[in-house]
Amino acid sequence: MTTAQQQDQEQDLPLDLEIESPNDYSRRIKVAVDADTVAAVRQRKLADLRRVKRIRGFRPGKAPARLVEERFGSEADQRVVQDLVNRGLRQAFKRHELRVLGDPDVRDVDFEPAGPLAFTATVQVEPNPQLARLGGFRLRKQPVEVRPELVDRYLEAIREENAVLEPADRAPQLGDVVCVVIKETQTAPAGQGSGARSPTRGKKGKKRKKARNASARRTQVNPRPYEFTLGSGQAIPDVEAAIQTLQPGQAGVFEVGYPDDYQGGRLAGQSRSLRIELRQTSRKILPELDDDLARAGGKFESFEELKSAVEDAVRAAAERSSRDRYREELVDAVIQANPFQLPPGLIAASAARLLPPEEAEDREAAAAAWKTAERELKRNLVLDRIVTDQQLQPSNADLDQIILETFGDKQDPATTRRRLAREGRLDDLRHQVEEQRALEYLESRSRPR
Protein backbone atom coordinates (compact mmCIF):
# COMPACT_ATOMS: atom_id res chain seq x y z
CA MET A 1 0.00 0.00 0.00
CA THR A 2 1.39 3.41 -0.94
CA THR A 3 1.84 6.30 1.48
CA ALA A 4 -0.89 8.21 -0.35
CA GLN A 5 -3.30 5.28 0.00
CA GLN A 6 -2.49 5.01 3.71
CA GLN A 7 -3.18 8.72 4.17
CA ASP A 8 -6.49 8.39 2.32
CA GLN A 9 -7.60 5.54 4.59
CA GLU A 10 -6.28 6.97 7.87
CA GLN A 11 -7.80 10.45 7.59
CA ASP A 12 -11.49 11.24 7.81
CA LEU A 13 -12.85 13.28 4.95
CA PRO A 14 -14.36 16.73 5.50
CA LEU A 15 -17.94 15.73 4.66
CA ASP A 16 -21.36 17.27 4.78
CA LEU A 17 -23.75 14.55 5.94
CA GLU A 18 -27.54 14.46 6.13
CA ILE A 19 -29.40 11.44 7.52
CA GLU A 20 -33.11 10.88 6.96
CA SER A 21 -35.21 8.07 8.45
CA PRO A 22 -38.10 7.09 6.16
CA ASN A 23 -38.97 4.28 8.59
CA ASP A 24 -37.52 2.22 11.45
CA TYR A 25 -35.20 0.20 9.25
CA SER A 26 -34.14 2.56 6.43
CA ARG A 27 -31.73 5.49 6.37
CA ARG A 28 -31.28 7.88 3.46
CA ILE A 29 -27.75 9.30 3.56
CA LYS A 30 -26.80 12.42 1.61
CA VAL A 31 -23.07 13.02 1.30
CA ALA A 32 -21.23 16.05 -0.15
CA VAL A 33 -17.45 16.36 -0.58
CA ASP A 34 -15.97 19.78 -1.38
CA ALA A 35 -14.00 20.44 -4.58
CA ASP A 36 -10.61 20.85 -2.84
CA THR A 37 -10.89 17.39 -1.24
CA VAL A 38 -11.97 15.83 -4.53
CA ALA A 39 -9.03 17.46 -6.33
CA ALA A 40 -6.51 16.26 -3.71
CA VAL A 41 -7.81 12.67 -3.85
CA ARG A 42 -7.81 12.77 -7.67
CA GLN A 43 -4.18 13.90 -7.77
CA ARG A 44 -3.23 10.97 -5.56
CA LYS A 45 -5.13 8.54 -7.79
CA LEU A 46 -3.31 9.93 -10.86
CA ALA A 47 0.01 9.58 -9.04
CA ASP A 48 -0.79 5.94 -8.28
CA LEU A 49 -1.67 5.30 -11.93
CA ARG A 50 1.50 7.05 -13.11
CA ARG A 51 3.53 4.76 -10.89
CA VAL A 52 2.00 1.45 -12.04
CA LYS A 53 0.90 2.04 -15.64
CA ARG A 54 3.31 1.48 -18.54
CA ILE A 55 3.58 4.13 -21.28
CA ARG A 56 5.87 3.42 -24.20
CA GLY A 57 9.02 5.49 -24.16
CA PHE A 58 8.96 6.21 -20.43
CA ARG A 59 10.13 4.34 -17.39
CA PRO A 60 7.46 3.54 -14.75
CA GLY A 61 6.63 6.71 -12.82
CA LYS A 62 8.46 9.02 -15.23
CA ALA A 63 5.74 9.78 -17.78
CA PRO A 64 4.62 13.46 -17.92
CA ALA A 65 1.57 14.23 -15.78
CA ARG A 66 -0.22 15.66 -18.84
CA LEU A 67 0.17 12.37 -20.71
CA VAL A 68 -1.04 10.35 -17.71
CA GLU A 69 -4.07 12.63 -17.51
CA GLU A 70 -4.85 12.07 -21.19
CA ARG A 71 -4.44 8.31 -21.04
CA PHE A 72 -5.86 7.49 -17.61
CA GLY A 73 -7.95 10.48 -16.53
CA SER A 74 -11.26 8.65 -16.88
CA GLU A 75 -9.92 5.67 -14.89
CA ALA A 76 -8.76 8.07 -12.18
CA ASP A 77 -12.24 9.59 -12.09
CA GLN A 78 -13.80 6.14 -11.56
CA ARG A 79 -11.37 5.41 -8.74
CA VAL A 80 -12.07 8.78 -7.12
CA VAL A 81 -15.83 8.21 -7.15
CA GLN A 82 -15.53 4.65 -5.83
CA ASP A 83 -13.10 5.68 -3.11
CA LEU A 84 -15.01 8.74 -1.92
CA VAL A 85 -18.37 6.97 -1.96
CA ASN A 86 -17.02 4.05 0.09
CA ARG A 87 -15.17 6.25 2.56
CA GLY A 88 -18.08 8.67 2.85
CA LEU A 89 -20.46 5.82 3.69
CA ARG A 90 -18.06 4.30 6.21
CA GLN A 91 -17.75 7.64 7.97
CA ALA A 92 -21.53 8.06 7.97
CA PHE A 93 -22.03 4.58 9.45
CA LYS A 94 -19.43 5.24 12.13
CA ARG A 95 -20.56 8.77 12.99
CA HIS A 96 -24.22 7.79 13.35
CA GLU A 97 -23.54 4.28 14.76
CA LEU A 98 -25.53 2.55 12.03
CA ARG A 99 -25.61 -1.25 11.97
CA VAL A 100 -26.14 -1.74 8.26
CA LEU A 101 -27.82 -4.79 6.75
CA GLY A 102 -26.86 -5.65 3.17
CA ASP A 103 -25.33 -3.37 0.54
CA PRO A 104 -26.11 0.35 0.15
CA ASP A 105 -28.20 1.53 -2.79
CA VAL A 106 -26.14 4.45 -4.17
CA ARG A 107 -27.85 6.86 -6.53
CA ASP A 108 -27.72 10.43 -7.85
CA VAL A 109 -23.91 10.58 -8.02
CA ASP A 110 -22.96 14.12 -9.06
CA PHE A 111 -19.26 14.39 -9.95
CA GLU A 112 -17.02 16.61 -12.02
CA PRO A 113 -13.22 16.23 -12.01
CA ALA A 114 -12.75 19.90 -11.15
CA GLY A 115 -15.72 20.20 -8.85
CA PRO A 116 -17.32 18.70 -5.72
CA LEU A 117 -18.88 15.25 -5.38
CA ALA A 118 -22.32 14.48 -4.01
CA PHE A 119 -24.41 11.33 -3.82
CA THR A 120 -27.35 9.77 -2.03
CA ALA A 121 -27.41 6.25 -0.58
CA THR A 122 -30.24 4.28 0.99
CA VAL A 123 -29.38 1.53 3.45
CA GLN A 124 -31.31 -0.89 5.58
CA VAL A 125 -30.26 -0.88 9.20
CA GLU A 126 -30.88 -3.04 12.20
CA PRO A 127 -33.71 -1.32 14.06
CA ASN A 128 -32.87 0.33 17.33
CA PRO A 129 -36.19 0.15 19.18
CA GLN A 130 -36.99 2.95 21.59
CA LEU A 131 -38.49 1.23 24.62
CA ALA A 132 -40.52 3.88 26.38
CA ARG A 133 -42.55 1.37 28.37
CA LEU A 134 -41.06 -1.72 29.96
CA GLY A 135 -43.33 -2.35 32.93
CA GLY A 136 -46.70 -1.92 34.53
CA PHE A 137 -48.24 -4.80 32.62
CA ARG A 138 -50.90 -6.86 34.38
CA LEU A 139 -50.79 -10.25 32.73
CA ARG A 140 -52.24 -13.49 34.02
CA LYS A 141 -49.65 -16.00 35.18
CA GLN A 142 -50.49 -19.64 34.63
CA PRO A 143 -51.23 -21.29 37.99
CA VAL A 144 -48.89 -24.07 39.05
CA GLU A 145 -50.60 -27.42 39.32
CA VAL A 146 -49.16 -30.80 40.20
CA ARG A 147 -51.19 -33.01 37.86
CA PRO A 148 -51.64 -36.57 39.21
CA GLU A 149 -51.33 -38.08 35.71
CA LEU A 150 -47.88 -36.54 35.33
CA VAL A 151 -46.80 -37.96 38.67
CA ASP A 152 -48.09 -41.37 37.59
CA ARG A 153 -46.21 -41.04 34.30
CA TYR A 154 -42.95 -40.31 36.13
CA LEU A 155 -43.49 -43.24 38.47
CA GLU A 156 -44.24 -45.52 35.54
CA ALA A 157 -41.00 -44.42 33.88
CA ILE A 158 -39.13 -45.36 37.07
CA ARG A 159 -40.77 -48.79 36.94
CA GLU A 160 -39.67 -49.16 33.31
CA GLU A 161 -36.10 -48.23 34.21
CA ASN A 162 -36.05 -50.90 36.90
CA ALA A 163 -37.83 -53.59 34.86
CA VAL A 164 -36.36 -57.09 34.58
CA LEU A 165 -36.32 -58.68 31.12
CA GLU A 166 -37.48 -62.28 30.89
CA PRO A 167 -37.17 -64.25 27.61
CA ALA A 168 -40.55 -65.12 26.11
CA ASP A 169 -41.00 -68.06 23.71
CA ARG A 170 -43.87 -66.49 21.75
CA ALA A 171 -44.64 -63.84 19.16
CA PRO A 172 -43.81 -60.40 20.53
CA GLN A 173 -46.47 -58.03 21.81
CA LEU A 174 -46.56 -54.30 22.33
CA GLY A 175 -44.38 -53.46 25.32
CA ASP A 176 -42.01 -56.37 24.74
CA VAL A 177 -38.30 -55.79 24.07
CA VAL A 178 -37.21 -57.37 20.80
CA CYS A 179 -33.79 -58.05 19.32
CA VAL A 180 -33.90 -58.06 15.50
CA VAL A 181 -31.58 -58.03 12.51
CA ILE A 182 -32.87 -56.09 9.51
CA LYS A 183 -31.36 -55.91 6.06
CA GLU A 184 -32.61 -54.85 2.67
CA THR A 185 -33.09 -57.49 0.01
CA GLN A 186 -34.19 -55.57 -3.09
CA THR A 187 -32.03 -53.68 -5.54
CA ALA A 188 -32.27 -49.96 -4.87
CA PRO A 189 -33.46 -47.59 -7.63
CA ALA A 190 -30.67 -45.95 -9.59
CA GLY A 191 -28.94 -43.13 -7.74
CA GLN A 192 -30.64 -43.87 -4.44
CA GLY A 193 -28.48 -46.56 -2.88
CA SER A 194 -29.89 -49.48 -0.99
CA GLY A 195 -31.22 -47.81 2.11
CA ALA A 196 -28.45 -48.55 4.56
CA ARG A 197 -30.21 -46.42 7.15
CA SER A 198 -32.04 -48.65 9.58
CA PRO A 199 -35.86 -48.47 9.64
CA THR A 200 -35.65 -47.98 13.39
CA ARG A 201 -36.27 -44.31 14.05
CA GLY A 202 -33.30 -42.20 15.07
CA LYS A 203 -30.71 -44.96 14.68
CA LYS A 204 -28.30 -44.94 11.77
CA GLY A 205 -27.19 -48.19 10.17
CA LYS A 206 -23.50 -48.97 9.83
CA LYS A 207 -21.67 -47.47 6.90
CA ARG A 208 -21.05 -50.10 4.27
CA LYS A 209 -18.13 -50.56 1.97
CA LYS A 210 -18.69 -49.71 -1.67
CA ALA A 211 -19.91 -52.67 -3.66
CA ARG A 212 -17.30 -54.05 -6.02
CA ASN A 213 -19.92 -54.77 -8.65
CA ALA A 214 -22.34 -51.85 -9.06
CA SER A 215 -24.91 -54.02 -10.85
CA ALA A 216 -24.96 -56.69 -8.16
CA ARG A 217 -27.86 -57.01 -5.74
CA ARG A 218 -26.97 -54.97 -2.67
CA THR A 219 -27.41 -56.07 0.91
CA GLN A 220 -26.03 -54.75 4.18
CA VAL A 221 -22.72 -56.29 5.16
CA ASN A 222 -22.81 -57.84 8.62
CA PRO A 223 -25.96 -55.98 9.73
CA ARG A 224 -25.98 -55.41 13.45
CA PRO A 225 -28.86 -56.36 15.70
CA TYR A 226 -31.22 -53.72 17.05
CA GLU A 227 -32.93 -53.89 20.42
CA PHE A 228 -35.95 -51.75 21.21
CA THR A 229 -39.38 -51.78 22.82
CA LEU A 230 -42.33 -52.47 20.54
CA GLY A 231 -44.83 -49.64 20.60
CA SER A 232 -42.32 -47.04 21.77
CA GLY A 233 -42.10 -45.34 18.37
CA GLN A 234 -38.47 -46.36 17.84
CA ALA A 235 -39.31 -48.32 14.67
CA ILE A 236 -41.57 -47.44 11.76
CA PRO A 237 -45.09 -48.94 11.95
CA ASP A 238 -44.68 -51.49 9.12
CA VAL A 239 -41.55 -52.92 10.74
CA GLU A 240 -43.26 -53.23 14.12
CA ALA A 241 -46.24 -54.97 12.51
CA ALA A 242 -43.94 -57.40 10.68
CA ILE A 243 -41.99 -58.27 13.83
CA GLN A 244 -45.21 -59.19 15.65
CA THR A 245 -45.86 -61.96 13.09
CA LEU A 246 -42.59 -63.75 13.89
CA GLN A 247 -41.60 -66.25 16.53
CA PRO A 248 -38.17 -66.02 18.20
CA GLY A 249 -35.58 -67.49 15.81
CA GLN A 250 -37.77 -66.93 12.74
CA ALA A 251 -37.11 -64.62 9.81
CA GLY A 252 -39.25 -63.31 6.98
CA VAL A 253 -39.17 -60.95 4.00
CA PHE A 254 -41.61 -58.06 4.18
CA GLU A 255 -42.58 -55.15 1.94
CA VAL A 256 -42.20 -52.10 4.15
CA GLY A 257 -43.48 -48.59 3.46
CA TYR A 258 -41.53 -45.67 4.92
CA PRO A 259 -43.69 -42.80 6.27
CA ASP A 260 -43.68 -39.48 4.41
CA ASP A 261 -42.03 -37.81 7.42
CA TYR A 262 -39.32 -40.46 7.80
CA GLN A 263 -36.12 -38.71 8.88
CA GLY A 264 -34.02 -40.81 6.52
CA GLY A 265 -34.87 -38.23 3.85
CA ARG A 266 -34.49 -40.07 0.56
CA LEU A 267 -36.49 -43.09 1.81
CA ALA A 268 -39.50 -41.02 2.92
CA GLY A 269 -42.66 -42.20 1.19
CA GLN A 270 -40.91 -45.15 -0.49
CA SER A 271 -41.19 -48.92 -0.13
CA ARG A 272 -38.44 -51.45 0.43
CA SER A 273 -38.24 -55.23 0.75
CA LEU A 274 -36.64 -56.07 4.10
CA ARG A 275 -35.52 -59.34 5.61
CA ILE A 276 -36.32 -59.24 9.32
CA GLU A 277 -34.94 -61.84 11.72
CA LEU A 278 -36.35 -61.97 15.26
CA ARG A 279 -33.56 -63.21 17.48
CA GLN A 280 -35.20 -62.79 20.87
CA THR A 281 -38.37 -61.62 22.53
CA SER A 282 -38.28 -60.44 26.14
CA ARG A 283 -41.18 -59.39 28.26
CA LYS A 284 -40.77 -56.77 30.94
CA ILE A 285 -41.36 -57.69 34.55
CA LEU A 286 -42.21 -54.38 36.17
CA PRO A 287 -41.56 -53.94 39.89
CA GLU A 288 -44.32 -52.93 42.24
CA LEU A 289 -44.62 -49.33 43.41
CA ASP A 290 -43.39 -50.07 46.91
CA ASP A 291 -40.53 -49.41 49.33
CA ASP A 292 -38.25 -51.90 47.56
CA LEU A 293 -38.50 -49.87 44.34
CA ALA A 294 -37.75 -46.67 46.27
CA ARG A 295 -34.66 -48.22 47.88
CA ALA A 296 -33.42 -49.62 44.54
CA GLY A 297 -32.00 -46.25 43.55
CA GLY A 298 -30.26 -45.79 46.87
CA LYS A 299 -31.80 -42.35 47.53
CA PHE A 300 -35.08 -43.10 49.32
CA GLU A 301 -36.17 -45.28 52.19
CA SER A 302 -39.85 -45.51 51.34
CA PHE A 303 -42.23 -45.23 48.42
CA GLU A 304 -43.80 -42.15 50.00
CA GLU A 305 -40.42 -40.39 49.92
CA LEU A 306 -39.99 -41.35 46.27
CA LYS A 307 -43.48 -40.15 45.36
CA SER A 308 -42.93 -36.89 47.26
CA ALA A 309 -39.68 -36.31 45.33
CA VAL A 310 -41.47 -36.98 42.05
CA GLU A 311 -44.22 -34.51 43.00
CA ASP A 312 -41.55 -31.91 43.80
CA ALA A 313 -39.95 -32.49 40.39
CA VAL A 314 -43.30 -32.14 38.64
CA ARG A 315 -44.06 -28.98 40.62
CA ALA A 316 -40.64 -27.48 39.77
CA ALA A 317 -41.15 -28.24 36.07
CA ALA A 318 -44.62 -26.65 36.17
CA GLU A 319 -43.21 -23.56 37.88
CA ARG A 320 -40.50 -23.21 35.21
CA SER A 321 -43.05 -23.61 32.46
CA SER A 322 -45.37 -21.02 34.03
CA ARG A 323 -42.51 -18.58 34.57
CA ASP A 324 -41.11 -18.97 31.08
CA ARG A 325 -44.53 -18.49 29.46
CA TYR A 326 -45.20 -15.43 31.59
CA ARG A 327 -41.86 -13.87 30.67
CA GLU A 328 -42.43 -14.45 26.95
CA GLU A 329 -45.86 -12.85 27.25
CA LEU A 330 -44.17 -9.86 28.90
CA VAL A 331 -41.83 -9.61 25.90
CA ASP A 332 -44.85 -9.63 23.59
CA ALA A 333 -46.45 -6.88 25.69
CA VAL A 334 -43.29 -4.76 25.40
CA ILE A 335 -43.24 -5.26 21.62
CA GLN A 336 -46.88 -4.23 21.40
CA ALA A 337 -46.37 -1.18 23.65
CA ASN A 338 -43.27 -0.05 21.71
CA PRO A 339 -44.02 -0.87 18.06
CA PHE A 340 -41.22 -0.81 15.49
CA GLN A 341 -40.68 -2.16 11.99
CA LEU A 342 -38.20 -4.68 10.65
CA PRO A 343 -36.62 -4.83 7.18
CA PRO A 344 -38.75 -7.22 5.08
CA GLY A 345 -35.60 -8.78 3.67
CA LEU A 346 -34.37 -9.63 7.16
CA ILE A 347 -37.67 -11.32 8.04
CA ALA A 348 -37.73 -13.19 4.72
CA ALA A 349 -34.21 -14.57 5.22
CA SER A 350 -35.02 -15.72 8.75
CA ALA A 351 -38.37 -17.24 7.70
CA ALA A 352 -36.69 -19.15 4.86
CA ARG A 353 -34.44 -20.87 7.40
CA LEU A 354 -37.50 -21.98 9.37
CA LEU A 355 -39.42 -23.32 6.38
CA PRO A 356 -38.66 -26.90 5.24
CA PRO A 357 -38.00 -27.10 1.46
CA GLU A 358 -41.07 -29.29 0.93
CA GLU A 359 -43.28 -26.52 2.39
CA ALA A 360 -41.77 -23.65 0.38
CA GLU A 361 -44.89 -23.41 -1.82
CA ASP A 362 -47.35 -23.78 1.05
CA ARG A 363 -48.79 -20.32 1.68
CA GLU A 364 -50.09 -21.11 5.14
CA ALA A 365 -46.76 -22.60 6.20
CA ALA A 366 -44.90 -19.62 4.70
CA ALA A 367 -47.15 -17.15 6.53
CA ALA A 368 -46.63 -19.02 9.82
CA ALA A 369 -42.85 -19.03 9.30
CA TRP A 370 -42.91 -15.28 8.56
CA LYS A 371 -44.88 -14.59 11.75
CA THR A 372 -42.56 -16.73 13.85
CA ALA A 373 -39.43 -15.16 12.34
CA GLU A 374 -40.72 -11.61 12.84
CA ARG A 375 -41.59 -12.27 16.47
CA GLU A 376 -38.23 -13.93 17.19
CA LEU A 377 -36.26 -11.09 15.59
CA LYS A 378 -38.21 -8.44 17.52
CA ARG A 379 -37.82 -10.41 20.73
CA ASN A 380 -34.05 -10.56 20.34
CA LEU A 381 -33.78 -6.86 19.51
CA VAL A 382 -35.87 -5.91 22.55
CA LEU A 383 -33.84 -8.07 24.91
CA ASP A 384 -30.55 -6.81 23.45
CA ARG A 385 -31.70 -3.22 23.95
CA ILE A 386 -32.67 -3.92 27.57
CA VAL A 387 -29.27 -5.48 28.22
CA THR A 388 -27.55 -2.40 26.79
CA ASP A 389 -29.75 0.22 28.45
CA GLN A 390 -29.74 -1.46 31.86
CA GLN A 391 -26.08 -2.51 31.66
CA LEU A 392 -26.84 -6.17 32.31
CA GLN A 393 -23.72 -7.54 30.62
CA PRO A 394 -21.95 -10.13 32.80
CA SER A 395 -18.38 -9.49 33.87
CA ASN A 396 -15.69 -12.15 33.70
CA ALA A 397 -16.14 -12.65 37.44
CA ASP A 398 -19.87 -13.25 36.86
CA LEU A 399 -19.10 -15.79 34.15
CA ASP A 400 -16.56 -17.52 36.38
CA GLN A 401 -19.18 -17.93 39.10
CA ILE A 402 -21.68 -19.36 36.61
CA ILE A 403 -19.01 -21.71 35.26
CA LEU A 404 -18.22 -22.82 38.81
CA GLU A 405 -21.89 -23.57 39.47
CA THR A 406 -22.30 -25.35 36.13
CA PHE A 407 -19.10 -27.36 35.85
CA GLY A 408 -18.23 -27.75 39.53
CA ASP A 409 -14.87 -27.08 41.16
CA LYS A 410 -12.86 -29.68 39.26
CA GLN A 411 -11.09 -26.96 37.29
CA ASP A 412 -10.27 -23.30 37.80
CA PRO A 413 -13.21 -21.24 36.39
CA ALA A 414 -10.89 -18.79 34.62
CA THR A 415 -9.17 -21.70 32.86
CA THR A 416 -12.54 -23.10 31.81
CA ARG A 417 -13.63 -19.66 30.59
CA ARG A 418 -10.53 -19.35 28.41
CA ARG A 419 -11.14 -22.84 27.02
CA LEU A 420 -14.75 -21.96 26.19
CA ALA A 421 -13.51 -18.83 24.44
CA ARG A 422 -11.08 -20.86 22.32
CA GLU A 423 -13.88 -23.27 21.41
CA GLY A 424 -16.21 -20.41 20.45
CA ARG A 425 -18.70 -21.28 23.22
CA LEU A 426 -18.12 -18.38 25.58
CA ASP A 427 -20.23 -15.96 23.54
CA ASP A 428 -23.13 -18.43 23.71
CA LEU A 429 -22.83 -18.58 27.49
CA ARG A 430 -22.60 -14.80 27.71
CA HIS A 431 -25.71 -14.43 25.53
CA GLN A 432 -27.66 -16.90 27.69
CA VAL A 433 -26.77 -14.94 30.82
CA GLU A 434 -27.72 -11.63 29.22
CA GLU A 435 -31.05 -12.99 28.00
CA GLN A 436 -31.84 -14.43 31.43
CA ARG A 437 -31.05 -11.12 33.10
CA ALA A 438 -33.17 -9.15 30.62
CA LEU A 439 -36.15 -11.45 31.20
CA GLU A 440 -35.69 -11.19 34.97
CA TYR A 441 -35.59 -7.40 34.64
CA LEU A 442 -38.86 -7.38 32.70
CA GLU A 443 -40.45 -9.65 35.31
CA SER A 444 -39.39 -7.25 38.08
CA ARG A 445 -41.15 -4.33 36.34
CA SER A 446 -44.64 -5.90 36.30
CA ARG A 447 -46.94 -7.78 38.63
CA PRO A 448 -49.02 -10.75 37.50
CA ARG A 449 -52.73 -10.68 38.17
Where does the pLDDT of residue 269 fall: very low under 50, low under 70, confident under 90, or very high at 90 and above? Answer: confident
Where does the pLDDT of residue 198 fall: very low under 50, low under 70, confident under 90, or very high at 90 and above? Answer: low
Are 217 and 115 part of one and the same domain?
no
Res 359: pLDDT: 81
Q: Which of 253, 285, 317 is the last residue of a domain?
A: 285
Res 195: pLDDT: 36
Res 238: pLDDT: 93
> Per mean pLDDT, which range of 199-203, 357-361, 388-392 is the poorest?
199-203
Res 285: pLDDT: 94
CATH number, domain containing residue 90: 3.30.70.1050
Q: For 283, list phi and psi in degrees, rounded to 5.
A: -100, 150
Where does the pLDDT of residue 410 fall: very low under 50, low under 70, confident under 90, or very high at 90 and above? Answer: low
Are 308 and 438 part of one and the same domain?
yes
Are 318 and 277 part of one and the same domain?
no
- Mean pLDDT of all residues in 418-439: 91
Answer whether residue 94 is part of any domain.
yes
- Mind listing the pLDDT tens digit for each residue in 289-329? 999 999 987 789 999 999 999 999 999 999 999 999 999 99
Res 201: pLDDT: 54
The per-residue pLDDT of the chain, averaged, comes to 85
The span from the CA of 2 to the CA of 12, in Å, is 17
Res 1: pLDDT: 44
- Mind listing the pLDDT tens digit for each residue in 326-344? 999 999 999 999 999 999 9
Residue 138 has pLDDT above 80, yes or no: yes
- Mind listing the pLDDT tens digit for each residue in 229-241? 999 888 999 999 9
Look at the chain and report how many structural domains it folds into.
3
The span from the CA of 227 to the CA of 235, in Å, is 10
Where does the pLDDT of residue 186 fall: very low under 50, low under 70, confident under 90, or very high at 90 and above? Answer: low
Where does the pLDDT of residue 264 fall: very low under 50, low under 70, confident under 90, or very high at 90 and above? Answer: low
Q: What is the CA radius of gyration of the chain?
A: 34
Are 420 and 339 part of one and the same domain?
yes
Are 368 and 235 part of one and the same domain?
no
Res 216: pLDDT: 42
Res 233: pLDDT: 87
Res 163: pLDDT: 92
* Cβ atoms of 199 and 258 closer than 8 Å: yes
Are 362 and 409 part of one and the same domain?
yes
Answer whether residue 326 is part of any domain.
yes
Which amino acid belongs to residue 417? R
- Mind listing the pLDDT tens digit for each residue in 70-112? 788 889 899 999 999 999 999 999 999 898 988 899 999 999 8
- Mean pLDDT of all residues in 242-256: 94
Residue 192 has pLDDT above 90, yes or no: no
Are 404 and 436 part of one and the same domain?
yes
208 or 366: which carries more pLDDT confidence?
366
Where does the pLDDT of residue 6 fall: very low under 50, low under 70, confident under 90, or very high at 90 and above? Answer: very low
Are 395 and 281 part of one and the same domain?
no
Which residues constitute the domain of residue 95? 3-125
Res 265: pLDDT: 60
CATH number, domain containing residue 227: 3.10.50.40
- Please give, one letter per residue, the 3-state secondary structure of the chain: CCHHHHHHHHCCCCEEEEEEEEECCEEEEEEEECHHHHHHHHHHHHHHHHHHCCCCCCCCCCCCHHHHHHHHHHHHHHHHHHHHHHHHHHHHHHHCCCCEEEEEEEEEEEECCCCCEEEEEEEEECCCCCCCCCCCCCCCCCCCCCCHHHHHHHHHHHHHHCCEEEECCCCCCCCCEEEEEEEECCCCCCCCCCCCCCCECCCCCCCCCCCCCCCCCCCCCCCCCEEEECCCCCECHHHHHHHCCCCCCCEEEEEEECCCCCCCCCCCCCEEEEEEEEEEEEEEECCCCCHHHHHHCCCCCCHHHHHHHHHHHHHHHHHHHHHHHHHHHHHHHHHHHCCCCCCHHHHHHHHHHHCCHHHCCCHHHHHHHHHHHHHHHHHHHHHHHHHHHCCCCCCHHHHHHHHHHHHCCCCCHHHHHHHHHHCCCHHHHHHHHHHHHHHHHHHHCCCCC
Res 4: pLDDT: 46
Are 313 and 391 part of one and the same domain?
yes
